[in-house]
């Protein structure tokens, strides 16, 4: 394809999503940013992408917690660029609690954002990708899409769900030049991880330092947080022709966690 590609990255105003947006922009794609951080911070990040990589970036504040959010986001992409070539379903939240105390609204919010949002965005982009005969859908799952940890029932359920969804859509689009894969990060140092440390400390009766060392990195054999740049590198690779036969996979980037 000679035309400039357009990548839509949900939850790209922070953390892994912003890192992936930066990687795809560096690869020459126009970017549709999304997320709920302070608008002035997102605007700064948007301008930075354009300045650093000479591409065009727009921002949609569509709420991916709701089905209408997907339509709003994909319409914004179509309006600005007339196409969507790459969809990265990345927006996600976490909540940590024993199941008996797990608030119903937190369960629903996690299922809505971490799982259902990908259904709605995928449904919206697949017809265009089929028409183009080319597309890449990348779902940011988690090592928790492959194995479980206690106190994260909604998150683990949603992430296992998105791995199954990834395989299903890969099969449905396999003859259309579209690949669909899940990236399964271990612990990556981002605001999402930072925010869950106090709750995990409370749930397990530990200090925050003990949570980092003995809970989070206990399962990650490298004993190091992965980086957003590593997630971006894999996402960029999945968009190359070299990756065109990789579809329906769940690729761990987890420092050996799921080798246990």
**Crossing angle for the helix pair 117-132 and 153-173, to the nearest 10 degrees:** 20
Residue with tokens 């690779």, as numbered in its chain: 237
Residue with tokens 């690949």, as numbered in its chain: 179
**20, 45 Cβ separation under 8 angstroms:** no
Encoded one letter per residue, x for contact with ligand NAD by CB under 6 A and - for no contact, window 28-57 reads: ------xxxx--------------------
Range list of H helices, the chain: 15-26, 39-53, 67-81, 104-111, 117-132, 153-173, 191-204, 208-210, 228-238
- List the catalytic residue out of 59, 120, 155, 187: 155
Encoded one letter per residue, x for contact with ligand NAD by CB under 6 A and - for no contact, window 188-207 reads: x-xxxx--------------
Nearer to ligand NAD, 13 or 97 (CB): 13
Q: Does 140 bind ligand NAD (CB under 6 A)?
A: yes
Nearer to ligand NAD, 175 or 257 (CB): 257
Residue with tokens 């990255």, as numbered in its chain: 9
**164, 207 Cβ separation under 8 angstroms:** no
Q: Report the alpha-carbon angle 251-87-229, nearest 5.
A: 55
Sign of CA dihedral 51, 52, 56, 58: negative
Contact residue for ligand NAD among 45, 187, 247, 252 (CB under 6 A): 187
**229, 19 Cβ separation under 8 angstroms:** yes
Contact residue for ligand NAD among 65, 77, 87, 118 (CB under 6 A): 65
The pair of three-digit structure tokens given for residue 234, joined into one six-digit string: 């894999």
Encoded one letter per residue, x for contact with ligand NAD by CB under 6 A and - for no contact, window 88-127 reads: --xxxx-------------------xx-------------
Q: Which of residues 217-256 bind ligand NAD (CB under 6 A)?
A: none
Question: Is-catalytic flag, 59?
Answer: no
**201, 149 Cβ separation under 8 angstroms:** no
The pair of three-digit structure tokens given for residue 186, joined into one six-digit string: 């271990």
Contact residue for ligand NAD among 7, 17, 25, 107 (CB under 6 A): 17
Q: CB of residue 60 vs ligand NAD: minimum separation in angstroms?
A: 9
Q: CB of residue 196 vs ligand NAD: minimum separation in angstroms?
A: 9
Q: CB of residue 106 vs ligand NAD: minimum separation in angstroms?
A: 13
Q: Does 71 bind ligand NAD (CB under 6 A)?
A: no
Query: Under the rule (CB under 6 A), what is the footprint of ligand NAD?
Result: 10-17, 34-37, 63-65, 90-93, 113-114, 140, 142, 185, 187-188, 190-193
């Amino acid at each position: 394809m000679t035309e400039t590609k357009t990548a839509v990255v949900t939850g790209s105003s922070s953390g892994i999503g912003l890192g992936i947006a930066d990687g795809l922009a560096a690869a020459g794609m126009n970017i549709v940013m999304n997320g709920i951080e302070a608008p002035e911070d997102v605007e700064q990040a948007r301008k930075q992408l354009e300045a650093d990589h000479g591409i065009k970036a727009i921002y949609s504040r569509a709420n991916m917690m709701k089905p209408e959010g997907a339509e709003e986001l994909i319409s914004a992409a179509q309006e600005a660029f007339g196409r969507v070539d790459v969809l990265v379903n990345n927006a996600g939240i976490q909540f940590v609690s024993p199941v008996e105390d797990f608030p119903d609204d937190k369960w629903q919010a996690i299922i809505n954002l971490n799982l259902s949002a990908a259904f709605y965005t995928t449904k919206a982009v697949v017809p265009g990708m089929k028409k183009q005969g080319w597309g890449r859908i990348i779902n940011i799952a988690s090592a928790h899409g492959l194995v479980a940890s206690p106190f994260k029932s909604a998150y683990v359920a949603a992430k296992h769900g998105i791995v199954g969804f990834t395989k299903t859509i890969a099969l449905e689009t396999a003859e259309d030049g579209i690949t669909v894969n899940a990236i399964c990060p271990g612990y990556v140092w981002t605001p999402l991880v930072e925010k869950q440390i106090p709750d995990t400390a409370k749930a397990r009766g530990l200090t925050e330092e003990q949570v980092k060392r003995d809970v989070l990195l206990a399962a990650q054999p490298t004993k190091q947080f992965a980086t957003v740049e590593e997630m971006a590198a894999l996402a960029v690779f999945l968009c190359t022709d070299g990756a065109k036969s990789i579809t329906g996979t769940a690729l761990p980037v987890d420092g050996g966690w799921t080798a246990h």
